[in-house]
Structure 1
Amino acid sequence: MESKLFAYTALPQTGRFIRLLKIHPGASSDRLICELFPCDLDTEPAYTALSYVWGDPTKSAELICLDYACKIAQSLSDGLRRIRRADEAQIAWADAICINQNDQVEKGQQVNLMGDIYDKARDVTVWLGPDPTGSSHEAFRCLREINEKILTGTHQERYDPNEEERRNNPLSMNMSGAGPLTGRRSILPKVLGDRGKDCISELFSLTWFSRVWVLQEVGLATTATAFWGDSGMEFDQIAVFVYNVFTEEDLKFFLGPELSATLLGSPLYALWNVWSTYETKDSWMQRTPALRRFAEGIITGCDVDFTLVLEAAQHFNATNSLDYVYAFLGHPKARKPGTDKTWLQADYSLTLEDQHRLLASSLAEDSLNFLAHLQQTEESLKISEYPSWVPQWGQKHLVHAEAFWEAWDASLRKKEHHQYPAQSNGAKLSVSGLIIDTVGQSTPTMKPDDFEPIDWAGARLIETCWKLAMQSPYPYPREKVVDAFASTLICDHRQPGYPAVNLFAGFCMHADIKFFKKLETTGGLWGLDIVLEGSKAFGTQFKWYGTNRRFFTTKSEGLWGLGPAAMQQGDVCAVLFGADVPFILRPTEIRGEYKVVGECYMYNLMYGDAVLSWREGNNSYVKENIVLV
């Protein structure tokens, strides 16, 4: 809050004190009149927390606080007016006014309490902003109706097309691929109407959906209500819609690729990495059946840790780059296991590099999975001022590949509940691990456009990888060759359902029958239950994991893997103790010191196979002390 007249009174140093804002009653056109007062969080005060975007700093409004005229952001004024009532005072909390933004020490202390501030709030008001085009009512109507119809299974209707309609409008049929003779079609176009798609697009283009702080503000809420202009709806409806776009192919089709990509960007990462991982029993997430099941699936199938939560940072924006970390300190996973201490305390006097290094050093006490967030390029490995093992959270390169580590256990860290604490010393991190082999040949980096269209282009990429795999002797039994190849392409993590090789065979039969016949000669398809229905999912997974990665073989053992774009011949493959996936390392001029190039998938090494074989003396691996620089 900027005012020459108003001065903050310091908060008490004992207890967990915050400031709350008493908003006096008034009509919509009345001036905002408020009072600030200190309150101990542990007294369980009843208040509404405001989640909003600070907005354009040149647009300001006036607020009367304790008889002083104060200038505040227009967006804050609009949000407080949304909370204000005409007949009774309201108690609220809003960061820009309840925290002295000019006191860096207080700001850090209050940010450390931010998780509890939103967790203890009676409810959260989400102010999305004004609605100058009058789109909010139509957007919210579409979300509610689509969610309800998908929930009840009424998003398709019986249809008896005549021959002319079949010829002229084939896309009006069920987009699931069942074909026109099923007599069913989606009614989602009717729900969207003429303006629905544009209004939904405008909704999810609002700045609020790209702001990093909103993640914990909403995720911790018991109840959250979103307001856009004069329209409002329960926030769980917005989250359910994002979930439905993720799971329903019909909905993606009718929204179109551009809008679907928007929804599967920052909104999906918010839902997947943050809101689903709080595990707050009485939150809006847990009270919504579809969202609760989604969250339970993530928690069951993944090792949910602070690394998973931090992954969302790169998909959002922050005015202060330090907030790409501080905005997540209110998450339960931000605390060290078995303690109430966070991995890092908010301190706005730190440089960005120091913050990143301190957080990486702290996380290394528990596991090395944070290394999966590295986004190395050839340039960064040569000239970056950062140590190669320190991620730059919040940064996203165009050549970035989606990180993976949650579903595997390469060093048996999870299965054996064993910790391998690493030791940091300035720019160096001392770890231990097994050097598996040296990178030999690799394909060019597979770019996003190389996969389009997936049926044709995906098949060409698969053939390129296969030719490389067949150039050198491989250590896999003949009957396992195709399985090894298919699993490597999609970084298979033994999901329930058909094995990767079954889907792979179906995809190849559909996309490239000549290549499929070539595969048959390997013997790896004998007696296989080839899956045609749903086999396109193999292409989708290949694109997800293969984009901005390279298929490679190792020099000595001929192992197969999928590695980072910055990988080069002579790099080494290693299983680091304390990491759940293997990594590619680059030797430096100093023996025993390496730069981290990035994570990799290696067939038969993802579930502790290398560690078990080493313990039994069945290979030449040697446990080495490794220094990451």
Structure 2
Amino acid sequence: METWNADIVSLLYKPLSGSMPIRLLRLHPGQPGDDLNAELVPTTIEEAEGQYEATSYTWGSPANPLSMTCDGLKVIIQKNAFDMLNDLRRTDQTRTVWIDAICINQSNIDERASQVAIMHHIYRRAKRVVIWLGKSDEHSTLAMSYAAGLDVPKLLGESKDIGDSPTKDWEIYTNKSYFFEPKEEVELKQHQVLGVAIVKFVNRPWFNRVWVQQEAALCRETQVTCGDQVVGWDNVFALAWMLLPRSVGLYPDYIADDLNRTLNNISAVENIQRRRRRLFGDLYQTRGDLIFQPLISRLVNSCRFGATDPRDKLYSLQYFAEDADMWFDIDYGVPWQILYADVARRFLERGILGFLKNAGRVRQKSGSMLPSWAPDFRDGNWGSNVMVDQPSWMPGGPKTDVAYDTPGKAAGSLHNLPKRHRKRLDLPKELRDFKDSRKALLQSYASFKSTMFDEIIYLGDVLDDPFDIETWLRIIKQDLDYIGKLGLQTYLNNENLSDAYKLTLILASNHEQGVVDSKYVSENWDDWIRWLNDPLGGRETMPVWQYSIEASGALQSFRFAITKHGYFCLVPRDTQVHDVVSIFVGYQAGVVLRRWLPPSAGGKAHEESSKGATPTEYFELIGDTYIHGMMSNEARCIIDEFNCKHSPTQSQLQAMLRASDSGHGESWETLGLPGAYARILETLGDHLVNLV
């Protein structure tokens, strides 16, 4: 697209000048079917404040571009931009708008960067933001009409306290208005048609784009257009709120659209609304002032949304993340692979490991040349292979989210792989042409501080069809049969083994993300099994355990695992026997690792030098894991108490056992842990794990 107008770019775009300079597009009036005619007007944000409308739309496919006349020149633009301008053009007067595809010289990467850096000013100081969702169709017509007729004040009132606390949120969601209420037979057919239309409307591409999170939130007056229909932003939020399920669940069978995509888009609307409530408290009777968060916290949401340019997953956060300038400069000359790896490096140096949530082979797209430790923010499908965090988890000790100007205690370090170990990478042109020392990041290994390390010896099966109840029950029986043959009386934390298994499946969390124990099992497990076996059991009678199972992703995105020393884990479904579970200092979950042999090893163990130095062991990060009984900093407490050593010699192990009285004595009471943890002492100890 950047080359479409190469022959006229010097005539169309004069260098920008002044403080926060921009260009506006003055769209001349015309009748339907007339050619689009406009002119570019150079100005500054201060001069233009409140005199233009900023547009929010999706660029769409570059196929089938169309042309318009701008400053007397024929300018080629993508079809979506053309269609939007055609819809927005008035018949009797000029309309002044800001549209990124035309007002920014897209062929000039320096200008793109400088304009992105002031994007929040462009939207916040506009007279109005106009969201264009695309051309109308039969579904959008029904959905927009329904949105226009909603009781918006009532629905805004229902949702205004979301985010105050998980417990309060659960009450709000449970009692909220919901579109898919049971209906009388006479209304059912019409309601089904409308339900399909609303879901398809919310699944339009605009809702899933990363830049719209900023564009829709910053301007007091924001309107939504689709074809010739126009509603206010609050009507669209109210529509999404009506569509949001009251609990984890599925829509009726006649809704064929992908549930993850729908829920993800609804979540995007909720995020925008939360920001608007903070910015415009007087409109929503809420607290004013936007709460800024560190970049690492914002990335969780950013990676869920789509972007034409992968770099925009980060660059779009430069306003909402208060520390964004600490992690990157907006520079479209840096390939996205280098940007992602370099941001991870900076996080690692400052002891912030939250980026690992987006790293690992289960999160990286197929064929990725990124190291396993580097995050891949490109994937907009956040529904699979992502473990739901319990707020109280800290298996590696307290985590860090905020960085300061001076780097703190590093969580690890980065090193270049020896030349003979480097992979042959088929680099795309943008990487081949990138002349910068940061390119070496793609052939680097990261050393992380680990406190626990144990090999997986058993893996449960996975479920491909969530409605295949017979397979569900078979998998559970198979797991319990294996556990029954372990020869252990209790789990590490003194729970009986059956309860420990069942709690592992739900991450020991209830539907409110509260930590639960064996009492929760005794009160809910049997009801769940009866419900699974009931052919008439529907979601209206669904027991609470099912909510917890669906939230954990057990048996579908994840599977049950047991390690050599008896840890019960929930691991990504791509995990293999002989993979390793580990705990990294400062990370919010456990991790699964797979041993990696460099190309030079030829499938055999290797030496780091011809002098016979100790071989370096490398691993690939697979993804997150839950390790039952180890998610509250138990590893660090035990290591410090008994001076645990990684891979201890027999004499070191005996010393550790003597110090712990082999699981007996007052030291365990002091720790607040049962002595059964003594059996895993030799899996604990500080050491470095090298990830490629």
Instruction: Please give the range of the TM-score, normalised by the shorter of the 2 chains.
Output: 0.7 to 0.9
1:387 — aligned with what? Answer: 371
Secondary structure of the residue aligned to 2:345 is helix
| Structure 1 portions without partners, runs of 5+ | 155-175, 177-183, 517-530
- Report which stretch shifted further, 241-250 or 411-420: 411-420
Deviation at 1:322, TM superposition (A): 3.8
Equivalent AA in structure 1 for residue 479 of structure 2: C
In 2, the alpha carbon distance for the partners of 1:493 and 1:533 equals 15
In 2, the alpha carbon distance for the partners of 1:353 and 1:152 equals 41
Residue 631 of structure 2 corresponds to residue 606 of structure 1 = yes
Quick one: which of 559, 564, 576 aligns to 1:568?
576
1:361 — aligned with what? Answer: 345
1:9 — aligned with what? Answer: 13
Deviation at 1:94, TM superposition (A): 0.6
Deviation at 1:459, TM superposition (A): 4.0
1:207 — aligned with what? Answer: 205
In 1, the alpha carbon distance for the partners of 2:386 and 2:248 equals 25
State the TM-score, normalized to the length of structure 2.
0.69
Q: In the TM superposition, what are the counterparts of 1:26-65 in structure 2 within 5 Å? A: 31-41=35-45, 45-46=49-50, 47-65=52-70
In 2, the alpha carbon distance for the partners of 1:433 and 1:5 equals 55
Taking a change above 3 Å as real, the CA distance of residues 275 and 399 of structure 1, as seen in their structure-2 partners, is: closer
% identity of equivalent residues:
21
Equivalent AA in structure 1 for residue 478 of structure 2: T
Secondary structure of the residue aligned to 1:600 is strand
Q: In the TM superposition, what are the counterparts of 1:186-585 in structure 2 within 5 Å? A: 186=183, 189=187, 192-193=190-191, 195-248=193-246, 253-254=251-252, 256-259=254-257, 261=259, 264-271=262-269, 274-275=271-272, 278=275, 281-282=278-279, 306-307=295-296, 309-312=298-301, 316-326=305-315, 328-333=316-321, 335-336=322-323, 341=325, 343-364=327-348, 365-376=350-361, 385-395=369-379, 400-405=384-389, 407=391, 408-414=393-399, 420-421=409-410, 422-425=412-415, 426=441, 427-449=443-465, 451-453=466-468, 457-472=471-486, 473=488, 474-479=490-495, 481=497, 483-493=499-509, 495=512, 499=516, 501-512=518-529, 534-542=544-552, 544-556=553-565, 558-585=566-593
Taking a change above 3 Å as real, the CA distance of residues 10 and 88 of structure 1, as seen in their structure-2 partners, is: same
Residue 80 of structure 2 corresponds to residue 95 of structure 1 = no
- Report which stretch shifted further, 410-419 or 384-393: 410-419
**Equivalenced residues, count:** 566
Contact 2:223/2:232, CA 8 A, preserved across alignment: yes
1:624 — aligned with what? Answer: 687
Taking a change above 3 Å as real, the CA distance of residues 69 and 386 of structure 1, as seen in their structure-2 partners, is: closer
Secondary structure of the residue aligned to 1:357 is helix
Q: Render the CA deviation track for 1:26-76: whole Å, top value 9, x for unaligned.
A: 555655443323333356722321112234545455544334343433432
In 2, the alpha carbon distance for the partners of 1:546 and 1:435 equals 28
1:127 — aligned with what? Answer: 132
Secondary structure of the residue aligned to 2:689 is strand
Contact 1:366/1:420, CA 8 A, preserved across alignment: yes
Deviation at 1:221, TM superposition (A): 4.1
Secondary structure of the residue aligned to 1:96 is helix
In 2, the alpha carbon distance for the partners of 1:200 and 1:29 equals 30
Taking a change above 3 Å as real, the CA distance of residues 276 and 343 of structure 1, as seen in their structure-2 partners, is: farther
Taking a change above 3 Å as real, the CA distance of residues 151 and 122 of structure 1, as seen in their structure-2 partners, is: same
Contact 1:562/1:600, CA 8 A, preserved across alignment: yes
Equivalent AA in structure 2 for residue 547 of structure 1: Q
In 1, the alpha carbon distance for the partners of 2:455 and 2:383 equals 20
Quick one: which of 77, 93, 116 aligns to 1:111?
116
Q: In the TM superposition, what are the counterparts of 1:75-90 in structure 2 within 5 Å? A: 75-85=80-90, 89-90=94-95
Q: Give me the CA root mean square deviation.
A: 4.4
| Structure 2 portions without partners, runs of 5+ | 159-173, 175-180, 416-440, 534-540, 597-604, 606-614, 645-680
Q: Render the CA deviation track for 1:572-591: whole Å, top value 9, x for unaligned.
A: 33221231112122345543
Deviation at 1:388, TM superposition (A): 1.5
1:519 — aligned with what? Answer: none
1:172 — aligned with what? Answer: none
Secondary structure of the residue aligned to 1:394 is coil
Contact 1:435/1:573, CA 8 A, preserved across alignment: no
Secondary structure of the residue aligned to 1:391 is coil
In 2, the alpha carbon distance for the partners of 1:579 and 1:306 equals 16
Contact 1:11/1:17, CA 8 A, preserved across alignment: no
1:20 — aligned with what? Answer: 24
Equivalent AA in structure 2 for residue 581 of structure 1: A
1:157 — aligned with what? Answer: none
State the TM-score, normalized to the length of structure 1.
0.75
- Report which stretch shifted further, 86-95 or 144-153: 144-153
Taking a change above 3 Å as real, the CA distance of residues 122 and 232 of structure 1, as seen in their structure-2 partners, is: same
Contact 1:25/1:88, CA 8 A, preserved across alignment: yes
In 2, the alpha carbon distance for the partners of 1:140 and 1:608 equals 50
Contact 1:246/1:264, CA 8 A, preserved across alignment: no
Contact 1:486/1:504, CA 8 A, preserved across alignment: yes
Taking a change above 3 Å as real, the CA distance of residues 417 and 536 of structure 1, as seen in their structure-2 partners, is: same
Secondary structure of the residue aligned to 1:54 is coil
Secondary structure of the residue aligned to 1:332 is coil
Q: Render the CA deviation track for 1:281-333: whole Å, top value 9, x for unaligned.
A: 2259x9558xx89xx9xx9xxx975445444566554444444444x334512
Taking a change above 3 Å as real, the CA distance of residues 149 and 277 of structure 1, as seen in their structure-2 partners, is: closer
Contact 1:439/1:568, CA 8 A, preserved across alignment: no
Contact 1:26/1:84, CA 8 A, preserved across alignment: yes
In 2, the alpha carbon distance for the partners of 1:316 and 1:187 equals 37
Taking a change above 3 Å as real, the CA distance of residues 58 and 481 of structure 1, as seen in their structure-2 partners, is: closer
Contact 1:445/1:550, CA 8 A, preserved across alignment: yes
Deviation at 1:547, TM superposition (A): 2.2
Secondary structure of the residue aligned to 1:467 is helix
Equivalent AA in structure 2 for residue 499 of structure 1: V
Contact 2:362/2:385, CA 8 A, preserved across alignment: no
Secondary structure of the residue aligned to 1:606 is coil
Taking a change above 3 Å as real, the CA distance of residues 49 and 371 of structure 1, as seen in their structure-2 partners, is: same
Contact 1:441/1:553, CA 8 A, preserved across alignment: yes
